[in-house]
Chain A
Amino acid sequence: GDSVTQMEGPVTLSEEAFLTINCTYTATGYPSLFWYVQYPGEGLQLLLKATKADDKGSNKGFEATYRKETTSFHLEKGSVQVSDSAVYFCALSETFGNEKLTFGTGTRLTIIP
């Protein structure tokens, strides 16, 4: 079945550092890929998405490129801020008649001033 593997956390970085959170996936078809962010006590917010190979999703300085050859969708940001502290989830969705999202286990990111 489908699965998503994320780099294990927690990740702690200093403000303005470069961020990479690795994500790889296993899917039977051609899934859409997503990054969601969850702030404490809140639900998930869609951060960015990509629907086909070589697409780059971007939002709020975050980027991720859909790499079919390596089945990866790594999240990057050039300069993180304290406000980026949250849990980040990589997810995929196959278009087989329902909208099931398959999530990774999440990576907790803490940015220190």
Chain B
Amino acid sequence: QQQVKQSPQSLIVQKGGISIINCAYENTAFDYFPWYQQFPGKGPALLIAIRPDVSEKKEGRFTISFNKSAKQFSLHIMDSQPGDSATYFCAASRGSTLGRLYFGRGTQLTVWP
């Protein structure tokens, strides 16, 4: 059973545009929601993470929006660049067991120059 559902599966954005990836979860015990970026043949790298006590977190061009009541969170990449082309995964875990991450299926982002 997929604990975290992610969409879209693939996304094509023009350089300078906004990339938006959405995730939804069911388990209300989750209290840590990270986003990871993965390049082919590499392990995932943490981009940004949020906890349910805030509705938005911004770091540079990356913003997480969190809707606790809807059990949804999303990643916004502003001013998307070709170097952002990668696979993005949302994940969720319980803070007390950080590391036991449940990942979404991933979004393959392609940014055209």
Chain A partners chain B: no
